[in-house]
C-alpha cells in the first residue's frame, strides 16, 4: 500500500533495537482516514473469505481492526491485556511477549464473544516476531474458531513473525512489508 509506505517514510522514526515509531498516525495519535483506507485494503485482500468477526489486540490494533470490521460490516473483538474487575465471565487466555516493551502480557477475550465455527480475520498493527498474532491464534483455537487470515498494517519481515504465520498455513497479508532498517532508514520489500 504505497500511501502507507509513503507515510511511514515521511513520519516514521527508526529507533534502536529495530523498532519503528509511527505513533503520529497509528500507535498514539490515529489518522482515521488512513486507517479507513487500511480497512478497505484488508477488505480487498481478503475478499474471497467469509468473515464473521475481526479479532485484534489492544491497544494499537483497535484502530485498523475497527475500520476493517466497519467496511466488512462485522463485529470486532479485541483481546484485552488485563482482565478488568468487571469481567467475571469465562475467558480465553494466552501469553504474549511484547517485543517493544520487553514484557510478558496475558491477553484475554470473553468466551461469549467468540463462538465455535466462526470465521475470524485477525488484524494487527505490527507483526515483528509475531507474538501478538500467536496469542490471538491460540485464543481462536481455544474457541474452536476458523482463522481465515491474518492482516498486518506493518510487517517487519526480517524478524520472522510473518514467516511463522505462513508456516502455520494461514493466509497472511501486510500493507507495508519492511525488509530492513539499514542505516537508520526504512527499506521496504521489493523496493528499487
Task: Give the residue extent of every domain in the chain.
Answer: 2-188
128 known member of a binding site? yes
Its pTM surpasses 0.85? yes
| Whether pLDDT at 1 is above 80 | yes
Read off the pLDDT band of 108 (50, 70, 90).
very high
146 known member of a binding site? no
15 known member of a binding site? no
| Whether pLDDT at 120 is above 70 | yes
The predicted structure's pLDDT at residue 85: 65
Read off the pLDDT band of 81 (50, 70, 90).
confident
DSSP, residue by residue, the chain: -HHHHHHHHHH-EEETTTEEE-IIIIISS--HHHHHHHHHHHHHHTTTS--SEEEEETTTTHHHHHHHHHHHTS-EEEEBSS--TT--S-EEEEEEEETTTTEEEEEEEEGGGS-TT-EEEEEEEEESS-HHHHHHHHHHHHTT-EEEEEEEEEEEGGGSHHHHHHHTT--EEEEEEEEE-GGGS-EETT--
| Whether pLDDT at 190 is above 90 | no
Question: For residues 148 and 49, is the Cβ–Cβ distance under 8 A?
Answer: yes
132 known member of a binding site? yes
- Better pLDDT: 191 or 44: 44
Per-residue pLDDT of 162-186, as tens digits, reads: 999 999 999 999 999 999 999 889 9
174 known member of a binding site? no
| Whether pLDDT at 45 is above 80 | yes
The predicted structure's pLDDT at residue 84: 65
129 known member of a binding site? yes
Read off the pLDDT band of 87 (50, 70, 90).
low
Read off the pLDDT band of 83 (50, 70, 90).
low
The predicted structure's pLDDT at residue 133: 96
| Whether pLDDT at 131 is above 90 | yes
| Whether pLDDT at 140 is above 70 | yes
Mean pLDDT over all residues of the chain?
A: 92
- The CATH code that applies to domain 2-188 is 3.40.50.2020
Determine the average pLDDT of the residues in 142-156.
97
Amino acid at each position: 500500500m504505497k500511501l502507507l509506505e509513503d507515510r511511514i517514510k515521511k513520519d516514521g522514526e527508526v529507533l534502536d533495537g529495530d523498532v519503528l515509531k509511527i505513533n503520529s498516525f497509528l500507535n498514539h495519535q490515529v489518522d482515521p482516514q488512513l486507517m479507513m483506507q487500511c480497512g478497505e485494503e484488508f477488505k480487498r485482500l481478503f475478499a474471497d473469505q467469509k468473515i464473521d468477526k475481526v479479532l485484534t489486540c489492544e491497544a494499537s490494533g483497535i484502530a485498523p481492526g475497527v475500520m476493517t470490521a466497519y467496511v466488512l460490516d462485522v463485529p470486532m473483538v479485541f483481546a484485552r491485556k488485563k482482565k478488568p474487575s468487571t469481567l467475571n465471565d469465562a475467558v480465553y487466555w494466552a501469553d504474549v511477549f511484547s517485543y517493544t516493551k520487553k514484557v510478558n502480557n496475558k491477553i484475554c477475550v470473553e468466551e461469549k464473544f467468540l463462538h465455535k465455527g466462526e470465521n475470524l480475520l485477525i488484524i494487527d498493527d505490527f507483526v515483528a516476531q509475531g507474538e501478538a498474532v500467536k496469542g490471538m491464534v491460540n485464543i481462536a483455537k481455544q474457541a474452536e474458531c476458523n482463522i481465515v487470515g491474518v492482516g498486518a498494517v506493518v510487517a517487519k519481515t526480517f524478524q520472522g513473525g510473518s514467516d511463522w504465520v505462513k508456516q502455520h498455513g494461514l493466509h497472511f497479508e501486510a500493507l507495508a512489508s519492511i525488509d530492513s532498517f539499514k542505516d537508520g532508514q526504512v527499506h521496504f520489500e521489493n523496493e528499487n
